[in-house]
Amino acid sequence: MDTKTIKAIDKSMNGLSTEDHDSIIAHSTATTDQAPHSKNSIKKLLFRLKGDIYATDDPRQYSSAKKNFIVFIVALGGIYGPLSTLIYLPGILQMAKDLDASIEAINATMSAYVALAGLTPLFWSSISDTYGRRPVYIMSISIGIVASILCASSNNIAMLIVFRALQASGASSGQTLGAGSIGDVFDVADRGKAYGVFFIGPLLGPSLGTLIGGFLCEFLGWQSTFYFTAVFGGIVLVLVVFFLPETVRKARSTAVKGKAPGVSKNIRTAFAPMIVMLGDPTILIMTLYGSIIFASLFFLNPTITDTFETLYNYNSWQVGLCYLCLGVGMICGSVLSGIYSDRIIKDLRNRLGAQHVYPELRLKAVYPSFILIPTGYLIYAWTAEKHVAAYGPLIGLFVYAVGQMFAVNPSSVYYVDSKPGRSASAVSLNNCARSLLGAVVTIFSTSCVRSAGPGIVFTVLAAISIVNTIFVLLVKVYGRKWRTNFEQRTGTTPATVPNPINSDSSLSVVDNGMQEKA
């Protein structure tokens, strides 16, 4: 409190006693001093929540225990989105009755979720690279929690569709941010195991969600599934706020000397490589292949509830157990396809030499899916059509799920192998396309099965999956030529380095070139 202020107060209080005079002066001084103190406290709190991207410590030097706890937290965040995707499926008939809506309208709630889950992670990842992981985690998870509560409070189908889209916008960030956090903390040589634990979430989430959702829908109603996701999101949020450190590191001198890139520029940076990649035949063809595979899965998912409740008179929790069969198949397929894929590359290197092994050769690991996917579909189709005991369709689901992962895993690794430094852009493009197509087919899946029967519908899908193999074979045979021609034409050939995965310069040079082309 300055001297002029004190004199002004003295002048206005000439008639007061000495004790009153001193008391008022002390109170005024304390009140004035508290204002900056309160502002400083708020700033400190916000800074602590945001995290410090300019900290001088190296996250890769964290202790093993701290790194493992970070993996645990981001793995829970990675489960949050997939868990929320299908958790209410065992209760869709309940929902249709309560909301006075058709099955197609209920399926539209999942379509809205899938579409936004494919699009919004592009923005979250872009923002997190500039402003850090913690603030984006906190903001996105908070959106997911609020949206989950709003979903449970919905009293008509339009509200539920809108709030499901909002829920996807928040809950789906965990997979992108978690992968980034692990990359921040672990060296390249140590990331394999960490990613292995992290990616259990996307595989287990949908099946675990439908299992939990089955019991919740049966005993507490479909609204309880959304309250469950809100509580789960709250647990993840608490762990992030109190225990997850900021792992992005930037040099403060860069921000002082040059102008830090804004959000809009950062988003343009994320999209520019994707725009250029639309001219690469290998990316277009593999994206089409992956989109058909993903759309087929999301065509199947909503029909499982209707099939087992209608044909086998299962209740909600029993339907949830049926989805678990699909999840176990995916986990088995993920492990087996990874081992098989690596074995193919090692054998080729031993026989041909490392210099003669190129990315398209990894697509040989997709071949088992050529048989497994249509076989699984046909078993599921006709055992359900002929009302064979429930083990028949469940075997079909398991075989299909194993084949699904033999199709998805090696083709996903192909993006990393063929686009060093640009794999994130290639994968993001694939994710967007497949999510949008999956969102469309989900709406009509149940009505198609009800109209034509599972036998005909899934036989058609089996035939589509066989035709779909042509795309993989085209890339396997001609992909190397198409890819190199595209890179020479656009000037985006990756720099030759001893180990491209460790090269940051390769990434920046290629991305800058692609942004200029865009």
CATH number for 385: 1.20.1250.20
Q: Is 498 a residue whose pLDDT tops 50?
A: no
My answer on whether 320 and 452 are in the same domain is yes
Q: How far is CA 245 from CA 72, 73, 185, 248, in A?
A: 13, 11, 10, 9
My answer on whether 365 and 322 are in the same domain is yes
Position 261 confidence tier, pLDDT thresholds 50, 70, 90: low
Q: Is 501 a residue whose pLDDT tops 50?
A: no
Position 34 confidence tier, pLDDT thresholds 50, 70, 90: low
Mention every residue, 6+ apart, whose C-beta is less than 8 A from residue 302: 89, 92, 107, 110, 442, 445, 446
My answer on whether 379 and 477 are in the same domain is yes
* % of the chain beyond a pLDDT of 70: 76
* Mean pLDDT within 281-299: 90
> Does the residue 45 lie in any domain?
no
Give the tens place of pLDDT for each residue, 50-77: 677 778 788 888 888 998 899 889 888 8
> Does the residue 227 lie in any domain?
yes
Give the structural domain span for 471: 263-518
Other CB atoms within 10 Å distance of the CB of residue 371: 14
Query: What backbone torsions phi and psi does residue 66 show, to the nearest 5 degrees?
Result: -65, -40
> Does the residue 163 lie in any domain?
yes
> Does the residue 17 lie in any domain?
no
- Comparison of pLDDT for 30 and 269, the residue scoring more: 269
Position 500 confidence tier, pLDDT thresholds 50, 70, 90: very low
Position 227 confidence tier, pLDDT thresholds 50, 70, 90: very high
Of 223, 249, 275, which marks where a domain is finished?
249
**Which pairs count as long-range contacts for 421-424, CB under 8 Å and 24+ apart, including other chains?**
421/494, 421/500, 421/503, 421/506, 421/507, 421/508, 421/509, 421/510, 421/511, 422/273, 422/277, 422/492, 422/494, 422/507, 422/510, 422/511, 422/514, 424/125
Q: Is 222 a residue whose pLDDT tops 70?
A: yes
My answer on whether 233 and 359 are in the same domain is no
> Does the residue 16 lie in any domain?
no
> Does the residue 169 lie in any domain?
yes
Please report which residue ranges of 311-388 form alpha helices under DSSP H.
Answer: 316-352, 367-385
Mean pLDDT of the chain: 80
My answer on whether 182 and 139 are in the same domain is yes
Q: For tokens 């058909």, name the residue.
A: 292
Helix (H, G, I), strand (E, B) or coil at 358: coil
Contact 277, 515 (CB under 8 A): no
Cα separation, 201 vs 180, in Å, equals 15
Cα separation, 307 vs 385, in Å, equals 10
> Does the residue 10 lie in any domain?
no
Which pLDDT belongs to residue 10?
55
What's the token pair of residue 445? 């899946």
Closest CA to 369 of 324, 342, 329: 329
My answer on whether 226 and 293 are in the same domain is no
Lowest model confidence (mean pLDDT) among 3-17, 83-97, 335-349, 484-498: 3-17
Cα separation, 283 vs 415, in Å, equals 8
Cα separation, 362 vs 357, in Å, equals 9
My answer on whether 328 and 446 are in the same domain is yes
Please report which residue ranges of 56-132 form alpha helices under DSSP H.
Answer: 64-86, 92-98, 103-131
Closest CA to 179 of 410, 421, 424: 424
Of 249, 281, 308, which marks where a domain is finished?
249
My answer on whether 416 and 505 are in the same domain is yes
My answer on whether 277 and 405 are in the same domain is yes
Position 441 confidence tier, pLDDT thresholds 50, 70, 90: confident
* Mean pLDDT within 85-106: 88
Cα separation, 466 vs 459, in Å, equals 11
My answer on whether 235 and 342 are in the same domain is no
Which pLDDT belongs to residue 144?
94
Number of domains observed in the structure of the chain:
2
My answer on whether 94 and 153 are in the same domain is yes
My answer on whether 190 and 333 are in the same domain is no
Contact 121, 267 (CB under 8 A): no
What is the four-CA torsion angle of 374, 379, 385, 388, rounded to 10 degrees? 180
Q: Is 125 a residue whose pLDDT tops 70?
A: yes
Which pLDDT belongs to residue 228?
96
Which pLDDT belongs to residue 517?
41
pTM, rounded to two decimals: 0.71
Which pLDDT belongs to residue 382?
95
> Does the residue 245 lie in any domain?
yes
Which pLDDT belongs to residue 514?
41
Question: Residue 375 is which amino acid?
Answer: T
CA 255 to chain centre: 30
Of 217, 249, 281, which marks where a domain is finished?
249
